[in-house]
Amino acid sequence: MRKLQDESENKALTRKFAERVFHELKNGRIREKQKFKNRMGPEFEQWSASLLADYPRDMVTEILNDDEFWEATLLVTQGI
């Protein structure tokens, strides 16, 4: 997360976004884990749409497409 924060224009917003992603994935139940891991399927689409409602599209897209962040977050929160 430090790298994401350091490279962002709004460090506080980036931190808040990353914390939300972690919290929601840690406490949420994902039914189709493989599709979700591959950033596909209705579950992922609905979840990412909820993030877009609260955060800038370019930030959401950039962070969720960061493979290192995505894989580490899924491993820690979902074990996948």
How confident is the model over 9-30, as pLDDT tens digits?
889 999 999 999 999 999 999 9
Please report which confidence band the pLDDT of residue 59 belongs to, taking 50, 70 and 90 as the band edges: very high
Average pLDDT of the residues in 45-57: 98
**Count of structural domains within the chain:** 1
pTM: 0.88
Structural domain including 55 reads: 2-78
Long-range contacts, stretch 25-33, CB < 8 angstroms, 24+ apart: 25/73, 25/74, 25/77, 25/78, 26/76, 26/77, 30/78, 33/78, 33/80
